[in-house]
Structure 1
Amino acid sequence: MDDEPAENISGGDAGGGRFTAFDPGEHATRAAAVVAELGDIYWEKTYGGRDAFECLVRTVLSQNTSDVASQPAHDALMERYAAKEDEDADLARSLADAHQDELAETISSAGLYNQKSGTLIRLAARICEEYGGEAGFDEFVRSEGPAVVRDALLDMKGVGPKTADCVLLFAGGRQGVFPVDTHVHRITRRMGLAPAAADHEGVREALEASVPAEACGFGHTAMVQFGREYCTAREPACLDGPEACPLYDYCDRVGVDELTGAVVDPAVAED
């Protein structure tokens, strides 16, 4: 996640700021109440406005790796190929013309760099061909309907549902989009907010149906952070007792045995 904004608009206690309190009692679903509770822990943010192609690049680099590994790769790529001092520079055209071995070396910290460099060059070439470059692609993402944009992105080899949804959220600022990464997939099923055997698309559909559209973006980023700090894959905070997890009362703890300390994937627990 990015650095916290200067003003806390979530209603959380930390940091002060403008108060817009969440009241879980007013929410129609448990998923909505969970997102509201996350607003008392993390700072709510607004989304949209990022360059669509750079957002696509950033998300591809983050696939199957951590932010710690992918951020330096993104920074190195931008320094080498963006040429922001040139008003006519086009990142998509620069990457479409890049030598794959040089690009792979540039993004090596992100892991799977041979695969990702090929994906980025292929995506850049297609965006140049279909949209005329990054500016045309950005206009498409911002102006077309979400379903149209999502279908177009999913038609691109190397772009999966999470990547498409991140572009819609962070570049297009679309409400009602809840990207599902490994943290969201794990937490949602563990808490019982989606079926234990649901795949990423099943989780996305469950969340977008039960969380208010305006809260989906914050719900995604806050749940990712919650997964890193509390509801980790192997040692969720609830193993230390109810008081250790701020969402304990909302959670079914599917796949978590508090007595033995055993933790399994919710789908396994439900077999």
Structure 2
Amino acid sequence: MDGYFSIAAESLEMMWQNLQAIVPSIIAIVVLLIIILVVYKIASKAIYHGLRRTVRRKDEIKTVMAIWRYIFLFIVALVLILTFSGSLTAAGISIGLLSAALGWALQKPITGIAAWMMILIKRPFKVGDRVIIDNIKGDISDITMFYIVLSEFGGTVGGEETSGRTILIPTALLFDKPITNYTLSDAYILDEVGAEFTYETNLGKAEKIMLDAAKKFTKDAIERKGKQPATRVFFNPSGMQVKVRYNVAARERQQVMSDITREVYEKVMKEKDLEFAYPHTELVWGRRPLRLQGNSLKA
């Protein structure tokens, strides 16, 4: 019996010694896990509140939080493997190869997510802005994690009127393509309407007609921007080029340009000392000039 008791005592003593040897490691692991959990909770709360200020859609917030959770777990796994691995070199090489393979396979999705995060943080544009991305024009109707949804303008027609088509642009393209935002600072852009008049025309009257037309159709822009339309005059081979420049709401550009053009045309056609210049041939015979139009001469 004494032999059995001695064997049991020796076994218990060995177990106690082994337990004493691993207790520091267990305590270290528990403390490390507590620290990791606290860091995760604090970081998650900060990210969540930041997203609530910039992201409207709840599903996108949930998606970002899920991505953050996986990234955090991946980092924790790397740290634990490197800390408790018997061979740090071998573990580092394996993890490096795995990371490279995953990065190559998920290059486009990761780039898209990074571009989406850039949009949320830097705010180069927002829903409702009028933009040109990779020569594609449109009004932004939605911004998702992997696509920007554009309501196209132009495209099927000349000018900048809505075509009715919807275009999806991958967010991953944003790092490689130029972006033009019509409405980043405000809703107004500078535009112009030009007309060419003969050298014999009353230039001052022509400028006044064009200025009055621009003021008539851009009253709202003048009030908001505080800038009046202005004219610019240039020499051309066939006559004097007069351009009126004005601020206009980006989405009204085409309509306002058409309205000003029609107004200028109707006013000029009523004036005897104003005449539009256009390509033609004029022959002077005696005192009466003859103009060649088509195949016939007209006085």
TM value normalised by structure 2:
0.25
TM superposition score normalised by structure 1: 0.27
Q: Which has the higher contact order (CA 8 A, sep 6+)?
A: 1
